[in-house]
Chain A
Amino acid sequence: MIELGKYAGAVIGAYGLSLALLGGLIWQTLAANARARHALERQESRG
């Protein structure tokens, strides 16, 4: 187990918040891309 001492809250908080923001950005990017790809495929199959 890694010993973070008296600054454990600061270190874990910084990593937790940053990884949550990066995870949210990646999820939003992939979800928007999938939506756009499916919508375009539907439109192209109609035409």
Chain B
Amino acid sequence: MSIWEYANPVKFMRTSGAILPWVVAGAAVCTVTGLVWGFLTPDDFRQGSTVKIVFLHVPAAMMAINIWVMMLVASLIWLIRRHHVSALAAKAAAPIGAVMTLIGLITGAVWGQPMWGTWWEWDPRLTSFLILFLFYIGYIALWSAIEDPDSAADLTAVLCLVGSVFALLSRYAVFFWNQGLHQGASLSVQSGERMSAVYRYPLYLTMLGFGLLFLSLLLIRTRTEIRRRRLAALQAREMRA
């Protein structure tokens, strides 16, 4: 069996329809449990109750960057192999990524005000994250602006390649730019424990929940795009007849 079988819309619809209920159930259980568990954690000795914002901020920021990387992979598949489902999956992922980026920016500002004394700072990570949000908006707008779907897929794929620079900057800016308010990674495999287990386990669960929530929404939105494409094809055929 090859992964390219799922480039067939019929095969994709059948398989995604079968796994979707399980993914949705997993997303609901992990996200709700993780957020409730996180909300009930004790206050941090320095940050007080604002530490509870980590359970929204970190998963949303992580997904904002990962979704752009997923769009990059899907765009490359479109450019190289011309599989329509991959172009539609990239298109379907963009609004989810934009919302995740906005949640990361809002929760960061709300958290930053009491902790840093400012809502916003032109810090490398914050600035590259804001630019990533603008790229998401531009990507969605470009899809809407071009009527021919294949041309739209080509141009948005190129925009996605360019925007990947800012997605990677958002992730790694703190490592090579020393100035700025934003801390380094909250969780790291290499550097040992940076966060108490009291916060770490609900955070892992929320991260898993946000990942499954993205997968659920991605599958539903890609199915919507495939249906719209099929509808357009049927209407075009009817017009010609």
A residues lining the B interface (CB < 8 Å): 2-8, 10-11, 13-15, 17-18, 21-22, 24-26, 28-30, 32-33, 36-37, 39-40, 43-44, 46-47
Contact = CB atoms under 8 A, between A and B. Distances in A.
A18 B39 contact: no
Given A2-B39, A33-B221, A7 B50 contact: yes
Given A22-B99, A36-B231, A47-B238, A11 B221 contact: no
Contacts of B60: 18
A25 B106 CA distance: 16
B53 A14 contact: yes
Contact of A7 (B39, B49, B230): B49
Contacts of B230: 40
20 contacts: A2-B40, A4-B49, A5-B48, A5-B49, A7-B114, A10-B50, A11-B49, A13-B110, A14-B56, A15-B52, A17-B103, A21-B106, A22-B99, A25-B96, A25-B217, A26-B217, A40-B231, A44-B234, A46-B238, A47-B237
A2 B128 CA distance: 35
Given A15-B35, A21-B106, 15 more contacts: A2-B39, A5-B48, A6-B48, A7-B49, A11-B53, A14-B107, A15-B52, A15-B53, A17-B103, A17-B107, A29-B217, A36-B228, A40-B230, A43-B234, A47-B237
Interface of B: 35, 39-40, 43, 48-50, 52-53, 56-57, 60, 95-96, 99, 102-103, 106-107, 110-111, 113-114, 213, 217, 220-221, 223-224, 227-228, 230-231, 234-235, 237-238
Contact of A22 (B40, B43, B103, B223): B103
B220 to A, nearest CB: 5
Contact of A10 (B99, B103, B110, B238): B110
Given A21-B103, A32-B224, A33-B220, A10 B114 contact: yes
Q: Main SS of chain B's interface residues?
A: helix
Contact of A14 (B106, B227, B237): B106
A6 B50 CA distance: 10
Contacts of B102: 21
A34 to B, nearest CB: 9
A18 to B, nearest CB: 5
A15 B114 CA distance: 16
Contacts of B111: 10, 14
B39 A15 contact: yes
A4 to B, nearest CB: 4
A10 B237 CA distance: 55
A2 B106 CA distance: 23
